[in-house]
Amino acid sequence: MVDPPMNMARLAAVDAAQAARVLNEVREARLAGKRARIAPRPVIEQSWARVLRSGVDPEQARGARLLSAEEVGRRRRESPLRHVLPVLREGLLSSVADVARHIMVVADAEGRVLWREGAPAVLRKADVLGFEVGADWREGAVGTNGVGTPAVVRRPVQVFAAEHFVRSHASWTCSGAPITDPRDGRLLGVVDVSGPLETMHPATLAWVDSVAKLAEARLRELHLTSLERLRTVGAPVLARLEGRALLVDRDGWTAAVTGMPYVRRLPLPNSLSPGRRWLAALGSCAVEPLAGGWLVRAADETGAAVRMTLDLSRADRRTLTVSGAAGPWSRELSARHAELLLLLAEHRAGRSAAGLAEDLFGDASRTVTVRAEMSRVRRYLGALLLDRPYRFREDADVEVLLPEEPSELLPHSTAPALARLRTPARASAGASPGTECEHPVRTE
């Protein structure tokens, strides 16, 4: 038996109009729940299934409102794709003999159209479809298409004629390829070449994909160049330092290290500023700005006292404050993390995942949930939190500030262990305000 998708590809290459008619029959049959005489390509059939589940109207797509000019400008400034627009223009517009019949569209990872260039006549036709700057071109917004579908499947896709889910798009052919961040594989966006139905050519998809790969290579080159520039600036500084230190760019990618093993990337908070900071991977650090990045110096806390204050005295606000050699830092806690840290303060010798599950849920089998939450706690406590069993670092001085009324201790918590701690008998077994109890939990 001949593979039906291959038949369709050959038919489209020979007679685009006839292929479009066949595809329209296939689309209508599938929408009616009937068996089509030719099966759609798997990538298209799977896309149609996703779009049907999302509730897109096959007769008229109703995408989200256009982004404002200000929002488009902001996204353009923040998108790494702005650096490779020359590569995309040169590869997809400048060297094409029939450029007057195509447009190039560049969308971000959310499917929002940020740039659009090409033949004025084709741009006007695209406006009628809502294929314009600021438009939402995700599959879930406008159905199967050359922007949204490659973003989902993370590979190049050509969408021809009635392979588009929405009827009004069936007069177009679109070839899109994802562009990913060469550093970590994160989707940055999609580049698409679109035009009227008669412009369809089987080689267009390979052409678009090759230009997308060139764009990724350019991003990799820019990244390495920026790290080399940072290394040149910071190397003399590192040479004079003792202890652990790193040069990292604004995204945490490492240019150079001293006094410690090389790490490819240092996780940084979303908003980092100079000064004494707590980084989960290193603990307390001194952060200093450099051209294009940061100098991060790990504080040597060997033998230095670390004090942790868990403030649960207010029902509406739960905070953790850590004070060490590099100065104090604080974090507001979720109710679940407050429960876990309180339990660890109660059990300084440590608590297993099963024990914490029993404390929180009355069910020792719910260890997966506990481990997931403890993994999130470790992101900000770093080396202060040990495991097997879970416990605070032995030399940490842990203090818990409790409410005056035991019943106000995390009042919304349903954890069995918290219910026991709220009972007057249990509270009286602890310390009076300002004194230490036999375990390291203290109240004030």
78: confidence class by pLDDT, cuts 50, 70, 90: very high
Please name the residues in contact with 388: beta carbons below 8 A apart, sequence gap of 6 or more: none
pLDDT at residue 6 is higher than 60 = no
**From CA 99, how far away is CA 215, in angstroms rounded?**
20
pLDDT at residue 71 is higher than 90 = yes
Average pLDDT over the chain reads 84
Nearest to 346 by CA among 334, 359, 357: 359
What pLDDT sits at residue 95? Answer: 54
pLDDT tens digits, one per residue of 126-181: 999 899 999 999 999 999 999 999 999 999 999 998 899 898 898 899 999 999 99
Nearest to 21 by CA among 3, 37, 44: 37
**Element holding 309 (H helix, E strand):** strand 306-314
Nearest to 108 by CA among 18, 189, 201: 189
- Cα of first residue to Cα of last residue in the chain, in angstroms, is 80
Q: What does the block give as tokens for 414? A: 């349903």
- Give Cα 98 to chain centroid, integer Å: 38
299: confidence class by pLDDT, cuts 50, 70, 90: confident
pLDDT at residue 443 is higher than 50 = no
Place of tokens 């390829």: 177
Cα dist from 121 to 17, 102, 117, 126, 158, whole Å: 21, 9, 11, 9, 22
**From CA 152, how far away is CA 424, in angstroms rounded?**
56
Decide which of 383 and 438 is more confident.
Answer: 383
Residue 151 CB-density burial (10 A; 0-12 exposed, 13-18 middle, 19+ buried): buried
pTM of the full structure: 0.67
Q: What does the block give as tokens for 125? A: 């036709």
What pLDDT sits at residue 230? Answer: 93
**Element holding 313 (H helix, E strand):** strand 306-314
pLDDT tens digits, one per residue of 91-121: 998 755 455 588 999 999 999 999 999 989 9
Percentage of residues of the chain with pLDDT beyond 90? 50
Residue 84 CB-density burial (10 A; 0-12 exposed, 13-18 middle, 19+ buried): buried
Please report which residue ranges of 171-292 form alpha helices under DSSP H.
204-239
- In single-letter form, the type of residue at position 237 comes to V
Contact criterion met (CB below 8 Å) for 214 and 83: no
What pLDDT sits at residue 437? Answer: 38
Decide which of 17 and 10 is more confident.
Answer: 17
What pLDDT sits at residue 302? Answer: 47
Q: Cis ω on the peptide bond leading into residue 389 (within 30° of 0)? A: yes
DSSP state letter for 93? I
pLDDT at residue 351 is higher than 90 = yes
pLDDT tens digits, one per residue of 238-288: 888 888 899 999 999 999 999 888 999 999 988 888 877 888 788 878 888
300: confidence class by pLDDT, cuts 50, 70, 90: low
Please name the residues in contact with 113: beta carbons below 8 A apart, sequence gap of 6 or more: 105, 106, 107, 131, 132, 133, 134, 135, 137, 147
pLDDT tens digits, one per residue of 405-425: 888 899 888 999 998 888 865
Number of residues in the chain = 444
What pLDDT sits at residue 114? Answer: 98
pLDDT at residue 217 is higher than 90 = yes
What pLDDT sits at residue 99? Answer: 56
At residue 363, the 3 state secondary structure works out as coil
What pLDDT sits at residue 5? Answer: 44
8: confidence class by pLDDT, cuts 50, 70, 90: very low
Q: DSSP for 232-259?
A: HHHHHHHHT--S-EEEEETT-BEEEEES
What pLDDT sits at residue 440? Answer: 42
Q: What does the block give as tokens for 179? A: 């562009």
What pLDDT sits at residue 97? Answer: 42
At residue 188, the 3 state secondary structure works out as strand
Q: If you average pLDDT over residues 174-200, what whole number do you get?
A: 92
DSSP state letter for 261? -
